[in-house]
C-alpha cells in the first residue's frame, strides 16, 4: 500500500483539479486560463531544463533521442495515442465539437512523461517515500484545473492511466532498480527532462512537438549507457 501512496495522491489531485476546472469552464476568464497554462508551461520548461542539463554526457541524450524518436515514429506512438483519444471522443462526445481527444492526449503526456514520474514511482515503491510524487501531485493538480477549464472533462480520463502506469512502475520498482545503475537512472532522468521541455513548448504554443513519439528514448537511454560501458571494456578504455 505504501508503494502506491504517491500514485493514489496523484490520481486524487488530478481528480479534484479536473472537477474544479470542468465546473469553472467558461466562467473562468479566458485571460486567466491562458495565463495559468502559460505559467505551467514556463515552469515545465524550467523543470525539464533542470533535469536535462544533469546528464553526464550530452551524447547519451542525443543518441537516446535520435534512436528513441526513430523507434517511436516507426511504431506510431503519437498516432496511436491520438487514435485512442479520438475513439474515446467518438464514444463519449455528445453532439457539437469536442476537445475530449485533445484533453486526453495532452494531459496524458503532461501527467505521465518525465523524470518525476519515473524517479518518484521508484522512490515510492522501494522506500514508501512519496515526496517526489507529492511535488508532482501538486503540479498535476493545478495543471488539471487549467487544462480541464480550457479543454474540458477529457482530462479526467487520464486517471486510470496514472493508476496503471505510475502504479505499475512503483510496484515493479525493485526489479527496475536492481537492473539499473546510478548512471543509467541519471541519463533516463536527463532524457525525461528533455521530453518535459517538449511538453512545455506545446503548452506555450511555441511548437507542437510530438513528444509521445520520443517516449522510447527513456528506454533507449539505459541501454545506450550499458552498450557504451561494454564497448569501453572490450577496447580496454
Residue 171 CA: distances (Å) to CA of 74, 117, 120, 164, 231: 30, 13, 12, 10, 33
pLDDT, residue 63, reads 95
Q: What are phi and psi of 206, to 5 degrees?
A: -85, -45
Q: Is the pLDDT of residue 79 over 90?
A: no
pTM of the complete model: 0.71
d(CA 21, CA 23): 5
Please, which pLDDT band fits residue 96 given cuts at 50, 70 and 90?
A: very low
Maximum average pLDDT range among 16-30, 44-58, 59-73, 90-104: 59-73
Whether the Cβ atoms of residue 52 and residue 211 lie closer than 8 Å to each other: no
**Residue range 48-69, pLDDT digits in tens:** 898 889 899 999 999 999 999 9
Please, which pLDDT band fits residue 180 given cuts at 50, 70 and 90?
A: confident
Q: Is the pLDDT of residue 94 over 60?
A: no
The total of structural domains in the chain comes to 1
Q: Which residue has the cell 514556463?
A: 42
Q: Which tops the pLDDT comparison, 93 or 140?
A: 140
Please, which pLDDT band fits residue 91 given cuts at 50, 70 and 90?
A: low
How does DSSP classify residue 163? I
Q: Is the pLDDT of residue 119 over 70?
A: no
pLDDT, residue 115, reads 55
Q: Is the pLDDT of residue 97 over 60?
A: no
Whether the Cβ atoms of residue 109 and residue 213 lie closer than 8 Å to each other: no
Q: Which residue has the cell 488530478?
A: 14
Picking from 86-90, 170-174, 187-191, 197-201, which range would have the lowest pLDDT averaged per residue? Answer: 86-90
Taking all residues of the chain, what is their mean pLDDT, rounded to a whole number? Answer: 82
Give the range of the structural domain holding residue 204, as residue numbers without chain letter.
Answer: 2-234
Q: Which tops the pLDDT comparison, 51 or 102?
A: 51
Please, which pLDDT band fits residue 186 given cuts at 50, 70 and 90?
A: confident
**Residue 15: left (phi > 0), alpha (psi -120 to 50), or beta?**
alpha
Amino acid at each position: 500500500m505504501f508503494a502506491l501512496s504517491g500514485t493514489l495522491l496523484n490520481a486524487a489531485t488530478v481528480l479534484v483539479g479536473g472537477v474544479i476546472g470542468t465546473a469553472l469552464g467558461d466562467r473562468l476568464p479566458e485571460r486567466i486560463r491562458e495565463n495559468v497554462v502559460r505559467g505551467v508551461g514556463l515552469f515545465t520548461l524550467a523543470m525539464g531544463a533542470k533535469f536535462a542539463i544533469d546528464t553526464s554526457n550530452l551524447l547519451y541524450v542525443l543518441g537516446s533521442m535520435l534512436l528513441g524518436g526513430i523507434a517511436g515514429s516507426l511504431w506510431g506512438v503519437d498516432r496511436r495515442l491520438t487514435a485512442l483519444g479520438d475513439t474515446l471522443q467518438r464514444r463519449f462526445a455528445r453532439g457539437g465539437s469536442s476537445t475530449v481527444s485533445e484533453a486526453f492526449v495532452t494531459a496524458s503526456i503532461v501527467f505521465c512523461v518525465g523524470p518525476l514520474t519515473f524517479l518518484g514511482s521508484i522512490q515510492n515503491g522501494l522506500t514508501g517515500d512519496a515526496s517526489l510524487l507529492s511535488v508532482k501531485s501538486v503540479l498535476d493538480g493545478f495543471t488539471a484545473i487549467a487544462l480541464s477549464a480550457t479543454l474540458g472533462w477529457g482530462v479526467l480520463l487520464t486517471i486510470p492511466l496514472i493508476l496503471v502506469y505510475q502504479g505499475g512502475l512503483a510496484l515493479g520498482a525493485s526489479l527496475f532498480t536492481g537492473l539499473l545503475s546510478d548512471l543509467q537512472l541519471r541519463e533516463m532522468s536527463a532524457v525525461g527532462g528533455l521530453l518535459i521541455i517538449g511538453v512545455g513548448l506545446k503548452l506555450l504554443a511555441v511548437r507542437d512537438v510530438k513528444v509521445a513519439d520520443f517516449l522510447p528514448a527513456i528506454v533507449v537511454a539505459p541501454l545506450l549507457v550499458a552498450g557504451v560501458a561494454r564497448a569501453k571494456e572490450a577496447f580496454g578504455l
